[in-house]
Chains A and B, each alone.
Chain A
Amino acid sequence: MTLAPETTDLKVQLRLADDEWFTVCDLNRLLPGRGVAALLPDGRQVALFRDRRGQVYAVDNRDPFTGAAVLSRGLTGTHGDRPFVASPLLKQRFDLLSGQCLDDETVRVTAYEVRAA
C-alpha cells in the first residue's frame, strides 16, 4: 500500500470564534488563482481562495455592490503586494486579507482567518 503524500491530508479551516476552527474542505480542492464558495453553519457564505504560493484566504462571498453571492467566482490578482479578488459582476476589487474594497474606500466585506491544517 502506498501512502498518499502528506499534503493531501491538509484541511482548509476557518476561524469562526476564538478557538473554534470550522473545517471546510481538503486543501487540494482549491485551484491556485481560483475561488470556491463554502456554506457556514449559520447560513453565511464564504469565498475561499488559494494563491500560487499556496497561501489561503477567505472573505464573505456576498458582493456588496449587487447583493449576489458571487465573490468566489471572481478573478484574483496582486495589487502592490496585497492579494485581491475582482467581483465577477461589476469588477470592484477587494483586498483578500482585510476585505477592504480597493475601488471604494467606504466598502468592506468581512475577512476571515483561515489556515491549512
Chain B
Amino acid sequence: MSDTPTIVLVGHGMVGQRFLEALAERGLTATHRVVVLCEEPRPAYDRVHLTSYFSGTSADELSMTDMEFIEKHGIELYVGDPAETVDRDARKVTARSGLVVDYDVLVLATGSFPFVPPVPGKDAEGCFVYRTIEDLLAIEEYAKTAKTGAVVGGGLLGLEAAGALKGLGVEAHIVEFAPRLMPVQVDDGGGAALLRTIEDMGLSVHTGVGTQEIVTDAAGAVTGMKLSDGSELATDMVIFSAGVRPRDQLARDCGLQVGERGGISVDEQCRTVTDPHVFAIGECALAADGRVYGLVAPGYEQAETAAATIAADEASFTGADLSTKLKLLGVDVASFGDAHGTAEDCLDVVYSDSRAGLYKKLVIARDGTLLGGILVGDAEAYGTLRAFTGSVPPVSPEQLVLPAGAGAPTQLGPSALPDEAIICSCHNVSKGTIRGAVTDHQCTTVPEVKKCTKAGTGCGSCIKVLGQLVTAELEAGGVEVDKGLCGCFSQTREELYEIVLALRITSYQDLLDRHGRENARGGDGCEVCKPAVASIIASLAPTIGAEGYVLDGEQAALQDTNDHFLANLQKNGSYSVVPRIPGGEIAPEKLIVIGEIARDFGLYTKITGGQRIDMFGARVEQLPVIWARLVDAGFESGHAYGKSLRTVKSCVGSTWCRYGVQDSVRMAIDLELRYRGLRSPHKLKSAVSGCARECAEAQSKDFGVIATSNGWNLYVGGNGGATPRHADLLAQDLSDAELIRLIDRFLMFYIRTADRLERTSTWLDRIPGGLDHVRDVVVHDSLGICDELEGLMAAHVSHYRDEWAETINDPEKLARFVSFINAPDTPDPVVGFVPERDQMKPDLPLLSIGLRPTGEDVLEGSAQR
C-alpha cells in the first residue's frame, strides 16, 4: 500500500463527485488509492434540483453517484463518516468513526452551510434550513401539520425554498431584507417583474423588512415572527435562507489560511496557499480572484483544474462567468456579464412590461459593446446574448430586447458570432470548439457534439443555439443534412404523402416495413412519424380506401393522445371538450344545453379565442356521457384536439351590420361545414369578414376571406400565435363558387407539400417560389394538378362523418374511455380540483421547478432529425 500514493477527498457533494470523475478520466484512479469521506448519509446527489423532489423526483432519482463507477475505479467511499481532524505534518486525516487515512494529496470539497441570522428563537421547533435531502425530509414531515410557512430570504435559494413550501401545500410567505427579490441577480426593474409573477402564483412577498425575532408558544414551537417594521407575521414554520457560508472549519483547525469573510484560500491551480499537499474546490474555496463561487459550474471547473494539476497537467482557474439562467417557480430568470452596469459610462437599454411579467435589460458600453444584461419572464435570447457579450452585436440592441411584433424584431443567428464566443458556459465551450467537433471530429448530430465537447450537458440552456450551430456548420461543409421525417423514415413528409397516395398504402406498419429506414423496419416506429403518417392516411382516406374513422384498427395506435380520446389532454390528466359552433353562431337553446352539461358535470367553462365554448376538467370516463348529451342536442366534434380545421370565425356581416357588404356568417358556416374534419399537417384556421373593416381578423388566418362589393377577397398564409404573419392576398373579387374552388385547391396543395407541424404561414415562406408559385399552381394550374386537388377535396367532403357520434354508438370504441382497465369505475385519484372564481381549476403538485428540459432539448435523439 505504501507505494501507491493516496488521494483523500473530504466532502462528497456535487463538486466532489465531479472531481472523482475527472480523476478517473485522467487515469489517476488506476495509479492512486482514492479515499472519500462523505458526511451526509448518502453519496453525492443533485442539490441544484433538490426542489424537484416536490414535483415527484424521489431522493434516489436525485442521486449523482453511480455505484458501478465507484466500484469499477476502486474508490473507497465512506458514507456518513465525516473528517474530524487533519494532521498536516503527519499527513493524516481522522474521521468520526476513528478511521485514520494517510494522504499524499488532500482535497477539501466541503461546500457551504446555510447562514442563520442570530435572531432570538432561531432554534425553535419548526425552524429549518434548506440545503440537504435530510433538511427536505424534515420540512416535509413538519409541513404535514403546518398551514403557513415563511422563508427568510428572497434570493435564489429562498425562492427555491418557497417553491418547496408551495409544493407541500403550505401557504408561503417570503421575507426579504432588500427592497426587491433576488437582489444579487436582478435590478429593481427585474425584481418588480418577478414580484408580480410570484404574487400571481399566490405567494406573499414582504420586501424591505428584516426578521427580528421568532415567536414561539409555550411548548417552544414556532407561531410567528416579528418583523422590523413592527408587524408580526403568523406562521407555523420558518425556513432560513439568508445566504450560505463556506464550510472552512476543518481547514481553520489545521492552520490553513482562510479569507477574511471565510473560504479556504487557494491559488489558480486550486492548491491551498498554505500547503502544497492540500487542495480546496467548490463552495468552500476562496478562489485566486478573491471570490467564493456559489454555483455549480465554477465548482466543476475547479474540480477539473485540481485533477489536472494532480496529474501534472497544465490547468488553471482564474475566475468564472457568473451568468445564470434559472427557472424559479416556473419563471425564467437570467443574468449575464456586467448585469448591474458597474462599468464606467455604460448605458442601459430596457424593455419592461410588468403586466406580462417581462423585463429585459441590456448594458451597453459607449462604443456599442454588449457588456451584460438581465432577462426576467422570457429568457429565450439568453444563449445568443451571452455569447455576444464583450463584442458589438451586428444589430442595434433595442432590436434584441423588443418583443416580436414591436418594431422590427430581429433574431440573431449564431452564425454571426465570433469563434471565441462561449456557447456553453457550464463547460466553457466556444463556438470554435463546436465547429471543430463537426468539421474535425465528424460529429453530425447534436447528441454526438454533446458527447464530444460536453457542451449542453450542464444546465441545458445553450442547446438551442448548439442545434442551430451544428446545422449551419453541416450545411456549410456541404454535408447532406438528413431531411428525413425522423429516425424511422429517410423521406420527408411530402415524399411519404406521395408514396401513400401513389401506392394506396393504408397501413402504417406496411409503410414502415417497406419504405422505412433499414434499421427501423419491423419495429414500432416513433412518436414523430406515427401521428404524421396517421394524418396523411386520414387526409387521403376516401381516395386510398382507408377507413374514414381515425380510431379504427391500426389507426387508433398511431394517433396522438388528443386524437385518441377525441379531446384535449390537460395538465392534470383531465380533458377539455369543445363542440363545433360553426361561424360562432349559436341558438339560445343550444347555449342552454352547453350550460346544463357544464353545470351537471362541474366543468370549468370558458369562451375561447375561436368564438366557441370550451369545457374543461372532464375525466376520461365522463367523455362519452358528456358527448352523448351533446350529440343528442345536435352538436358535433369541434376537432379542437386534431391537426385539422379548427374554426371559421365570423363577424356579424351584412345581415345586421350597417357597413356589411356580404353575408359573412353564412359564408363562414358554409366553409366550416365543408372543411370540418379535414386532417392536415397542422391545424387550420379561417375567418370571414363582412367588409374591409375586418372585424373577424381574417388576415391572421390560414385562409381568410374579406367581403368586397363584388364578391370575396381570399387571403392565405396568415398566422397569429408566437410568430404572427399577415396573410397574403391570393385572389380578388371572387364569386362564392370561385372562392370555394380556390380554397379547395389551396388546402389540398398545402396538405400535399407541407412538412409535419408546419402552418401555412411557414410553408408559404419555405417553399421555393413562395406565394407566386402557389398562385401559379392553384389559380393558373401550372402543374396541371388542380382537377386532382379538387377531386381529393370532394372525396373528403362527401365522406365526412362526425367522429363523436360514431364513437358513442359503438360499444367497442367506448371501451377505451375508462380510467383503469381493471377498475373502470374508479376515477383517477390524481385528477383533483380546487375552487377558483366560482368555478374550479386543477389541483396540482408543484410542476415546473428546477431546470426542466425545454421543448428543444426534450426531443433530440434518434427520433429527430
* Chain A residues close to B by CB (< 8 Å): 24-25, 29, 31-34, 36-39, 43, 45, 48, 51-52, 62, 64-70, 73-81, 83, 86, 88-93, 102-104, 106-108
Pairs A–B under 8 Å by Cβ, sample size 20: A33-B530, A36-B820, A38-B822, A39-B822, A64-B61, A65-B852, A68-B571, A68-B572, A74-B561, A75-B558, A76-B527, A77-B525, A79-B526, A88-B560, A88-B569, A92-B853, A93-B527, A93-B861, A106-B61, A106-B64
Partner of B820, one of A33, A37, A81: A37
Given A64-B56, A75-B560, answer yes or no on A38-B525 (Cβ-Cβ < 8 Å): no
Is B41 among interface residues, defined by CB-CB distance under 8 A?
no
- Which residues of chain B are within 8 angstroms of A103 by Cβ–Cβ distance? 853, 857-861
Partner of B57, one of A51, A77, A89, A107: A107
Q: How far is the CA of A56 from the CA of B814 in the complex (A)?
A: 23
Question: Which residue of chain B has its CB nearest to the CB of A105?
Answer: B457
Asked if B527 and A69 make an inter-chain contact with CB atoms under 8 angstroms apart, the answer reads: no
Is B841 among interface residues, defined by CB-CB distance under 8 A?
no
Q: What does the 1/0 interface line of B427-442 toward A look like (CB < 8 Å)?
A: 0000000000000000
Is B828 among interface residues, defined by CB-CB distance under 8 A?
yes
- Which residues of chain B are within 8 angstroms of A80 by Cβ–Cβ distance? 862
Q: How far is the CA of A70 from the CA of B573 in the complex (A)?
A: 6
Q: How far is the CA of A93 from the CA of B859 in the complex (A)?
A: 9
Q: How far is the CA of A106 from the CA of B819 in the complex (A)?
A: 29
Given A33-B524, A68-B830, A90-B858, answer yes or no on A24-B530 (Cβ-Cβ < 8 Å): no
- Which residues of chain B are within 8 angstroms of A67 by Cβ–Cβ distance? 55-56, 572, 830, 844-845, 847
Question: Which residue of chain B has its CB nearest to the CB of A49?
Answer: B524
Q: What does the 1/0 interface line of B813-836 toward A look like (CB < 8 Å)?
A: 001000111110010111100000
Partner of B823, one of A39, A65, A83, A102: A39
Asked if B820 and A39 make an inter-chain contact with CB atoms under 8 angstroms apart, the answer reads: yes
- Which residues of chain B are within 8 angstroms of A86 by Cβ–Cβ distance? 526-527
Q: In the assembled complex, how far is the CB of residue B336 from the closest CB belonging to chain A, in whole angstroms? A: 25
Is B402 among interface residues, defined by CB-CB distance under 8 A?
no
Q: In the assembled complex, how far is the CB of residue A19 from the closest CB belonging to chain B, in whole angstroms? A: 20
CB within 8 Å of A: which B11-47 residues: 46
Asked if A34 and B858 make an inter-chain contact with CB atoms under 8 angstroms apart, the answer reads: no
Main secondary structure of the interface of B (DSSP, over half): loop
Question: Which residue of chain B has its CB nearest to the CB of A74?
Answer: B561
Q: How far is the CA of A88 from the CA of B530 in the complex (A)?
A: 13
Partner of A78, one of B520, B857, B859: B520
Is B523 among interface residues, defined by CB-CB distance under 8 A?
yes
Given A67-B845, A76-B524, answer yes or no on A39-B561 (Cβ-Cβ < 8 Å): no
Asked if B863 and A69 make an inter-chain contact with CB atoms under 8 angstroms apart, the answer reads: no
Asked if A34 and B524 make an inter-chain contact with CB atoms under 8 angstroms apart, the answer reads: no
Q: How far is the CA of A57 from the CA of B558 in the complex (A)?
A: 18
CB within 8 Å of A: which B541-577 residues: 554, 556-558, 560-562, 564-565, 569, 571-573
Q: How far is the CA of A24 from the CA of B820 in the complex (A)?
A: 10
Asked if B527 and A91 make an inter-chain contact with CB atoms under 8 angstroms apart, the answer reads: yes
Q: How far is the CA of A89 from the CA of B525 in the complex (A)?
A: 19
- Which residues of chain B are within 8 angstroms of A43 by Cβ–Cβ distance? 829
Which of A31, A37, A75 has its CB near the most chain B CB atoms (within 10 A)?
A75
Asked if A75 and B561 make an inter-chain contact with CB atoms under 8 angstroms apart, the answer reads: yes
What would 8 more interface pairs be, CB under 8 Å, given A78-B523, A92-B853?
A33-B558, A36-B820, A37-B819, A38-B822, A66-B55, A68-B830, A76-B524, A106-B46
Q: How far is the CA of A79 from the CA of B823 in the complex (A)?
A: 32
Q: In the assembled complex, how far is the CB of residue B169 from the closest CB belonging to chain A, in whole angstroms? A: 13
The interface on chain B, measured as residues whose beta carbon lies within 8 A of the other chain's beta carbons, has a size of 55
Closest 8 CB pairs of A and B: A33-B557, A77-B526, A88-B561, A78-B523, A86-B527, A68-B573, A75-B527, A67-B845
- Which residues of chain A are within 8 angstroms of B561 by Cβ–Cβ distance? 70, 73-75, 88
Given A80-B862, A103-B857, answer yes or no on A64-B526 (Cβ-Cβ < 8 Å): no
Partner of A37, one of B49, B57, B828, B845: B828
Asked if B557 and A48 make an inter-chain contact with CB atoms under 8 angstroms apart, the answer reads: no
Asked if A34 and B556 make an inter-chain contact with CB atoms under 8 angstroms apart, the answer reads: yes
Q: In the assembled complex, how far is the CB of residue B673 from the closest CB belonging to chain A, in whole angstroms? A: 30
Q: How far is the CA of A37 from the CA of B573 in the complex (A)?
A: 12
Given A66-B571, A103-B858, A107-B61, answer yes or no on A51-B821 (Cβ-Cβ < 8 Å): no
Question: Which residue of chain A has its CB nearest to the CB of B49?
Answer: A106
Q: In the assembled complex, how far is the CB of residue B752 from the closest CB belonging to chain A, in whole angstroms? A: 24
Asked if B821 and A73 make an inter-chain contact with CB atoms under 8 angstroms apart, the answer reads: no
Q: How far is the CA of A37 from the CA of B823 in the complex (A)?
A: 9
Q: How far is the CA of A51 from the CA of B512 in the complex (A)?
A: 15
Q: How far is the CA of A51 from the CA of B572 in the complex (A)?
A: 27
Q: How far is the CA of A34 from the CA of B831 in the complex (A)?
A: 21
Given A70-B573, A80-B862, A106-B49, answer yes or no on A38-B820 (Cβ-Cβ < 8 Å): yes
Asked if B830 and A69 make an inter-chain contact with CB atoms under 8 angstroms apart, the answer reads: yes
Partner of B527, one of A37, A77, A104: A77
Given A62-B56, A93-B527, answer yes or no on A32-B569 (Cβ-Cβ < 8 Å): no
Is B246 among interface residues, defined by CB-CB distance under 8 A?
no
Partner of A24, one of B509, B573, B819, B821: B821
Asked if B862 and A73 make an inter-chain contact with CB atoms under 8 angstroms apart, the answer reads: no
Q: How far is the CA of A20 from the CA of B844 in the complex (A)?
A: 33
Question: Which residue of chain A has its CB nearest to the CB of B620?
Answer: A73
Is B62 among interface residues, defined by CB-CB distance under 8 A?
yes
Asked if A104 and B853 make an inter-chain contact with CB atoms under 8 angstroms apart, the answer reads: yes
Q: How far is the CA of A52 from the CA of B815 in the complex (A)?
A: 20
Asked if A62 and B830 make an inter-chain contact with CB atoms under 8 angstroms apart, the answer reads: yes
Which of B569, B821, B860, B862 has its CB near the most chain A CB atoms (within 10 A)?
B821
Given A33-B524, A79-B526, A103-B857, answer yes or no on A69-B821 (Cβ-Cβ < 8 Å): no
Is B531 among interface residues, defined by CB-CB distance under 8 A?
yes
- Which residues of chain A are within 8 angstroms of B509 by Cβ–Cβ distance? 52
Which of A24, A39, A81, A102 has its CB near the most chain B CB atoms (within 10 A)?
A39
Q: How far is the CA of A3 from the CA of B28 in the complex (A)?
A: 69
Q: How far is the CA of A73 from the CA of B573 in the complex (A)?
A: 10
Given A34-B564, A48-B821, A65-B852, answer yes or no on A91-B859 (Cβ-Cβ < 8 Å): yes
- Which residues of chain A are within 8 angstroms of B823 by Cβ–Cβ distance? 38-39
- Which residues of chain A are within 8 angstroms of B488 by Cβ–Cβ distance? 77
Asked if A102 and B852 make an inter-chain contact with CB atoms under 8 angstroms apart, the answer reads: no
Question: Which residue of chain A has its CB nearest to the CB of B530?
Answer: A75
Asked if B821 and A25 make an inter-chain contact with CB atoms under 8 angstroms apart, the answer reads: yes
- Which residues of chain A are within 8 angstroms of B821 by Cβ–Cβ distance? 24-25, 29, 36-38, 48
Asked if A91 and B858 make an inter-chain contact with CB atoms under 8 angstroms apart, the answer reads: yes
Q: In the assembled complex, how far is the CB of residue A78 from the closest CB belonging to chain B, in whole angstroms? A: 4
Q: In the assembled complex, how far is the CB of residue B645 from the closest CB belonging to chain A, in whole angstroms? A: 22
- Which residues of chain B are within 8 angstroms of A51 by Cβ–Cβ distance? 524
Q: How far is the CA of A66 from the CA of B561 in the complex (A)?
A: 16
Q: In the assembled complex, how far is the CB of residue B804 from the closest CB belonging to chain A, in whole angstroms? A: 18
Q: How far is the CA of A102 from the CA of B525 in the complex (A)?
A: 16
Q: In the assembled complex, how far is the CB of residue B788 from the closest CB belonging to chain A, in whole angstroms? A: 32
- Which residues of chain B are within 8 angstroms of A108 by Cβ–Cβ distance? 61
Q: In the assembled complex, how far is the CB of residue A61 from the closest CB belonging to chain B, in whole angstroms? A: 9
- Which residues of chain B are within 8 angstroms of A24 by Cβ–Cβ distance? 821-822
Q: In the assembled complex, how far is the CB of residue A112 from the closest CB belonging to chain B, in whole angstroms? A: 14
- Which residues of chain B are within 8 angstroms of A92 by Cβ–Cβ distance? 853, 858
- Which residues of chain B are within 8 angstroms of A90 by Cβ–Cβ distance? 853, 858
Q: In the assembled complex, how far is the CB of residue A108 from the closest CB belonging to chain B, in whole angstroms? A: 6
Asked if B861 and A73 make an inter-chain contact with CB atoms under 8 angstroms apart, the answer reads: no
Given A67-B56, A79-B861, answer yes or no on A32-B572 (Cβ-Cβ < 8 Å): no
Question: Which residue of chain A has its CB nearest to the CB of B524?
Answer: A78
Q: In the assembled complex, how far is the CB of residue B574 from the closest CB belonging to chain A, in whole angstroms? A: 9
- Which residues of chain B are within 8 angstroms of A77 by Cβ–Cβ distance? 488, 523-527, 530, 863
